[in-house]
């Protein structure tokens, strides 16, 4: 009887660490998805669907407006 209790407790501890231990902690790759969602929100906020905005500032890395290019 005591052996069955130890096996059940061991299984419960293993299942806890597999499924519940990191519950609520952000995933390692989650920042990209939140950045894309924030850019979409910035585009809706500014009503400019060509320029990417991150934290209400133009995201220069992928900004393709003519104003950002140097005139030659």
The pLDDT mean for the chain works out to 77
37-51 per-position pLDDT tens digit: 888 888 888 888 888
The pLDDT of residue 69 is: 53
- Residues 15 and 27: their CA atoms lie apart, in Å, by 19
Report the b/e string of 39-61 with b at 16+ CB within 10 A. beebeeeeeeeebbbbeeebeee
The pLDDT of residue 6 is: 92
- Global pTM reads 0.42
Indicate whether 32 pLDDT > 80: no
Indicate whether 66 pLDDT > 60: no
Domain extents in the chain: 24-72
């Amino acid at each position: 009887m005591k052996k069955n209790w130890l096996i059940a407790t061991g299984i419960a501890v293993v299942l806890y660490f597999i499924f519940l231990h990191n519950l609520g902690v952000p995933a390692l790759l989650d920042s990209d998805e939140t950045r894309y969602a924030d850019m979409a929100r910035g585009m809706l906020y500014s009503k400019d669907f060509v320029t990417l905005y991150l934290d209400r500032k133009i995201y220069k890395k992928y900004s393709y407006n003519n104003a950002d290019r140097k005139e030659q």
